[in-house]
Amino acid sequence: MQKVWTTNGRLSRRYSLSMPSLSLLMLSLIVLVSMAIEAAEFQAQYTPNIEDNTSTMSSVTLFKQGDFTQLKKRTLPRDFLNALQAVIIHNPALKGQQAALNSYEADIDSAKARRYPTLSAQANNLNNDADQGTLRLNQPLWAFGKIDTAIDEATANYTAEQWGLIQNQRELISDTAKIYAKIQGIKLRITVAKQNIKEHENLHGRISRRQQGQLASNADTRLAYSRLLQARSRLQRIMGEELVAQAELQALTQIRVSTEGAIDDSLLGLPDRLVVNKLVMKNDANIRYKREQLKVVRLNLKQEKVASLPTISFRVEYDFLDNDINVDQTRAGLVFESNMEGLGLVSAGRVNAAAARLNAADEEVKSALNDVRRQVNVLMINRGVQRDLMRSQKDIVDEVEATMASFLRQYNSGRKSWVEVLNNQRELTELRLQLVQIASDWQQLSLQLLTLMGTLDDPAGLKHYEQ
């Protein structure tokens, strides 16, 4: 038996496969088996009771919801699709994360390379009689899962980061879709504001003609003109909101895109709440990311448990500076190496820390599930409320429009004043604007849910990763 110092400064023992050391090799194998049994018992003792949520997460493949939504049957407007695709292609945040994802892919190759031989060289002049130099080639034969676990951990980390990228992509898709729907709502408000200006111009013209016929006072004409100016001012304010929204959209897409194409409400149909919950829980990128992170932590715990197990390798050494003819310059044999830092207490502490991180990661998965479930319920409730409000608001607008026509007839017959007519016109405009805003909010909520379900992934050109 010969003691040698390794490059990390620890004292290791090396056994060459020869007849005089056969008994030592057998003893080493016995020690090896006993350590493996001890490690298995230690693993059983420190493994926390955590539900395995990764059985369905072996690959990053998005769940297909079939014909649950009419988006599968009808085509979204080209301008909307261009906006979604532009944010995926040009947004700088996604470019940076894609570059970071490539580094995780390189980690997999690095972990796999540990299976190949290691070539090292060492030279010193510690011996006064002669310089010493050794060229060493070491090929791992059995690492008791250390290399395989490292590869699995790197692969799981890469998969998790893929879902992290998908999560950010969907967030940007959701923001883009909401701003696009907001712009469509603003365009409808502009249409209402222009209609309001036209109706006020008609009213002002009628009052002006009646004043010329001495049937209306100058105060009535001034009031009508002030209301006309207010209508024009409102149009300018709404057009300013459109410019701000267009700037927000361009900040996401990084290029100017057209927003002329309107989204038909019939394209935003959703199944019932239970089906939506099922699709979101299965496709939500944050949940998948947290589950893959849980898998990474679980593999890290496994890596800490096997770190103290020995490694059996085949080693070839060649002394290229020592020219003593009595010394064999080339040696080859099996090497058994193991390190027990702090008599194994260091390894036990690392295992305990990894187990605590595993429990924390499991709680994060549960928290993510609860957050997504709450988010879907809130969105579905608000969407239903907006749909009901839209129906009732439409009925109110119809009634006030009929009232407006009645007020004009009553004014002509002298039973209503111009103030009442103008006030009714203001109320009608406010109700029309509210109706348009409710419809815009309903579209935005629908698009948020479709994004969570993954339905907008294909229209946006989002890449589906597969392992």
CATH number at residue 325: 1.20.1600.10
The dihedral built from the CA positions of residue 404, 408, 409 and 414, taken in this order, carries a sign that is positive
User: β-pairing, 11-14 with 132-142?
Assistant: unpaired
Gap between the Cα atoms of 284 and 454, Å rounded: 8
Residues 6 or more apart in contact with residue 280 via CB below 8 angstroms: 372, 376, 449, 452, 453
Query: How high is the pLDDT of residue 145?
Result: 84
The reply to whether 186 falls in a domain is yes
Query: How high is the pLDDT of residue 434?
Result: 95
Query: How high is the pLDDT of residue 325?
Result: 54
Gap between the Cα atoms of 400 and 117, Å rounded: 85
Cβ(462)–Cβ(88) below 8 Å: yes
Q: Taking Cα atoms as reference points, which of 82, 100, 101, 104 lies closest to residue 155? A: 104
Gap between the Cα atoms of 283 and 453, Å rounded: 6
Tens-digit pLDDT profile for the chain (467 aa)?
A: 343 333 333 333 343 444 444 444 444 444 444 444 444 443 444 343 333 333 333 333 333 444 444 444 457 889 999 999 999 999 988 888 888 888 888 888 888 888 888 888 888 776 666 667 788 888 888 888 888 888 999 999 899 989 999 999 999 999 999 999 999 999 999 999 999 999 999 888 888 887 777 766 788 788 889 999 999 999 999 999 999 999 999 999 999 999 999 998 888 888 888 899 889 988 888 999 999 999 999 998 888 888 888 888 888 888 777 655 555 678 888 888 877 777 778 888 888 898 999 999 999 999 999 999 999 999 999 999 999 999 999 999 999 988 888 888 887 776 777 788 888 899 999 999 999 999 999 999 999 999 998 889 888 888 765 44
Q: Which residues partner with 316 through β-bridges? A: 137, 332
The reply to whether 465 falls in a domain is no
The reply to whether 243 falls in a domain is yes
Gap between the Cα atoms of 245 and 247, Å rounded: 5
Supply 374's token pair.
């709450």
Q: Which residue has the tokens 């532009």?
A: 86
3-state helix, strand, coil in the chain (%, to 5): 70, 10, 20
Query: How high is the pLDDT of residue 6?
Result: 37
The reply to whether 180 falls in a domain is yes
Supply 443's token pair.
């579209």
3-state secondary structure of 255: coil
- Report which DSSP code applies to 333: E
Neighbours of 353 (CB within 10 A): 13
Q: What are phi and psi of 11, to 5 degrees?
A: -85, 120
Q: What are phi and psi of 434, to 5 degrees?
A: -65, -40
Number of domains composing the chain = 1
Q: Which residue has the tokens 């493996």?
A: 36
Sheet holding 118-124, edge to edge: 118-124, 132-142, 311-319, 330-337
Gap between the Cα atoms of 167 and 454, Å rounded: 10
The DSSP-derived string for 401-444 is HHHHHHHHHHHHTTSS-HHHHHHHHHHHHHHHHHHHHHHHHHHH
The reply to whether 43 falls in a domain is yes
The reply to whether 373 falls in a domain is yes
Query: How high is the pLDDT of residue 105?
Result: 86
Which run of H or of E encompasses 138? strand 132-142
Query: How high is the pLDDT of residue 118?
Result: 87
Query: How high is the pLDDT of residue 386?
Result: 94
Neighbours of 338 (CB within 10 A): 16
The reply to whether 467 falls in a domain is no
The reply to whether 76 falls in a domain is yes
Domain extent for 256: 2-460
